[in-house]
């Protein structure tokens, strides 16, 4: 079986490439060997293979490439964001095992003529997932020629702040006399890539299907011409602006909405919805999907999923829900569980950039650390509750102190970007009849304002309707609306 030779084949191929590079040593040029990891034939988001099997197979390939001496690893022709996660994590595992942490990873996606990856992800969704995995270089290759890539190259140029690589086919393939023919000539390919260099500031160029020695020679000549005395031109400086976001399998959702707030639908939750719990008990998974779609139609930007239900198998039922929701809804998922195995099993199914709900310090730092490790592995944002070893923070001073501790812990120790930290300063009902509890809403608002000032890059979210718990429906609607307005003015984002 070929898989038994995977390590040796990749190591030997790399060694042969290094030998070829050595033959040109001394001519004044620096050359690099990139180890290529292709897409294979099985996509996890389509159920062709489970995440663990794919990741482990790619660990073997990455080990061979690294032991052979690659300078970088190029994960190319990617068609599924979940496949990208398995490949990037496979490389990271191999790098750690072989003590080669500095070998960079590049990721190139393949955008079809439909304008999306094969599983339906647009370039923004794919880039959001790749960015969350700490990949420094993104690119496009295969499927189409440069003309069809132009729109996606432009998006990357305006949004991706790191280097960009482009390897187009020699045009769209045509069938000529029963054979595949790529119509783009070497000068035509070089002209397109020159445009991308001049207008979009791309950093690496090459050719994919249909390109041959003459195409690469034309690219080399073009680069020499642009550079004058040097062999390669200096890349154009871009003014890209990255917008912190989450993503479904299909599209990107900014964490800060323009003229609005991030609305997380909470009815797909066994703890908060009798209708959801009934559907879950019946095993009516299509009904569960319909509830998610309904919330999106009503304006939810993301969906909170919780299957924690006494006497039920939470992992099994979370798997049932996520495996359907991932392809059936357009909004990103918020994976909500107190159990680490449930969170992990869900993230192994999800190709989008999810939100992990949640961490806190109720039982000390160790449970939060394990969840942050999981979030960093799968590129998830994280909800963080202002709860510490002494309980839930009610006063503004404690909310701010715990929020700072959460920020320092998640961002300082685990490298989570502050924009991917969603602080929940907690809201409590003011309708208990207890005079002291009337202050709880004001304390929350004060806490929001002070957290926003102290930690301007984090998101601030609330389970806002808790403020009115215990009142009649009409009164709840009024109080929720007023409290929402005040919370947004203080700095709440979702």
What pLDDT, in 10s, does the model give residues 14-48?
999 999 999 988 888 889 999 999 988 999 999 99
pLDDT at 232: 83
Q: What is the mean pLDDT of residues 344-373?
A: 98
Rounded to whole angstroms, how far apart are CA atoms 297 and 250?
16
Q: What is the mean pLDDT of residues 94-104?
A: 96
- Please answer whether residues 81 and 129 qualify as being in contact, where contact means their C-beta atoms are separated by less than 8 angstroms: yes
pLDDT at 385: 98
pLDDT at 231: 76
Q: Rg of the chain's alpha carbons, rounded to an integer?
A: 25
Q: Is the pLDDT of residue 491 over 80?
A: yes
Q: Helix, strand or coil for residue 254? A: strand
Question: pLDDT digits over 119-145, tens only?
Answer: 999 999 999 999 999 999 999 999 999
Confidence tier at 109 by pLDDT (50, 70, 90) = very high
Q: pLDDT above 70 covers what percent of the chain?
A: 100
Rounded to whole angstroms, how far apart are CA atoms 435 and 427?
16
- Please answer whether residues 357 and 384 qualify as being in contact, where contact means their C-beta atoms are separated by less than 8 angstroms: no
Question: pLDDT digits over 224-279, tens only?
Answer: 999 887 778 888 899 999 999 999 999 999 999 998 999 999 999 998 889 999 99
Confidence tier at 414 by pLDDT (50, 70, 90) = very high
Nearest in space to 105 (alpha carbons), one of 128, 79, 85, 81: 85
Kindly tell me the sign of the dihedral angle through the C-alpha atoms of 176, 182, 186, 192.
positive
pLDDT at 309: 86
Q: What is the mean pLDDT of residues 349-356?
A: 98
On average, the pLDDT of the chain sits at 95
Rounded to whole angstroms, how far apart are CA atoms 429 and 329?
32
pLDDT at 206: 96
pLDDT at 230: 77
Q: How far is CA 337 from CA 288, 342, 349, 351, in A?
A: 17, 7, 15, 19
């Amino acid at each position: 079986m070929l898989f038994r030779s995977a390590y040796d084949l990749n190591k030997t191929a790399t060694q042969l490439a290094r030998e070829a590079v050595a033959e040109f040593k001394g001519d004044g040029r620096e050359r690099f060997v990139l180890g290529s990891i292709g897409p294979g034939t099985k996509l996890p988001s389509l159920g062709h293979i489970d995440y663990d099997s794919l990741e482990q197979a790619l660990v073997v390939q990455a080990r061979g490439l690294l032991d052979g001496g690659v300078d970088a690893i190029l994960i190319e022709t990617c068609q599924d964001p979940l496949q990208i996660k398995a490949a990037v994590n496979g490389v990271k595992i191999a790098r750690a095992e072989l003590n080669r942490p500095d070998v960079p990873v590049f990721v190139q996606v393949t955008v079809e003529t439909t304008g999306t990856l094969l599983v339906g992800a647009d370039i923004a969704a794919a880039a959001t997932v790749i960015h969350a995995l700490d990949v420094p270089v993104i690119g496009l290759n295969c499927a189409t020629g440069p003309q069809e890539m132009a729109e996606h190259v432009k998006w990357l140029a305006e949004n991706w702040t790191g280097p960009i690589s482009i390897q187009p086919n020699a045009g769209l393939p045509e069938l000529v006399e029963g054979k595949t023919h790529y119509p783009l000539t070497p000068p035509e390919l070089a002209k397109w890539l020159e445009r991308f260099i001049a207008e979009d500031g791309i950093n690496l160029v090459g050719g994919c299907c249909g390109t041959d020695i003459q195409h690469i020679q034309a690219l080399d000549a073009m680069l020499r011409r642009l550079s004058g005395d040097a062999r390669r031109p200096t890349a154009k400086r871009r003014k890209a602006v990255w917008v912190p976001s989450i993503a479904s399998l299909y599209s990107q959702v900014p964490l800060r909405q323009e003229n609005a707030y991030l609305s997380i639908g909470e009815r797909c939750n066994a703890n908060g919805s009798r209708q959801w719990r009934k559907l879950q008990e019946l095993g009516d998974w299509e009904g569960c999907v319909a509830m998610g779609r309904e919330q999106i139609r009503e304006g939810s930007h993301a969906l909170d999923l919780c299957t924690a239900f006494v006497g039920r198998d939470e992992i099994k039922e979370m798997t049932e829900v996520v495996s359907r929701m991932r392809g059936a809804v357009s909004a990103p998922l918020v994976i909500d569980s107190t159990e680490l195995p449930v969170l992990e099993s869900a993230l192994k199914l999800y190709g989008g950039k999810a939100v992990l709900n949640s961490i806190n310090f109720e039982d000390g730092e160790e449970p939060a650390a394990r969840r942050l490790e999981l979030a960093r592995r799968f590129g998830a944002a994280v909800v963080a509750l202002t709860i510490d070893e002494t309980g839930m923070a009610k006063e503004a001073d404690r909310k701010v102190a715990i929020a700072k501790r959460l920020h320092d812990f998640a961002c300082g120790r685990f490298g989570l970007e502050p924009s991917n930290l969603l602080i929940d300063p907690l809201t409590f009902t003011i309708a208990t009849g207890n005079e002291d509890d009337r202050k709880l809403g004001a304390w929350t608002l004060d806490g929001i304002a002070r957290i926003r000032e102290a930690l301007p890059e984090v998101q601030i979210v609330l389970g806002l309707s808790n403020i009115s718990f215990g009142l009649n429906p009409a009164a709840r609607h009024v109080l929720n609306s007023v409290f929402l307005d005040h919370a947004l003015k203080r700095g709440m984002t979702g």
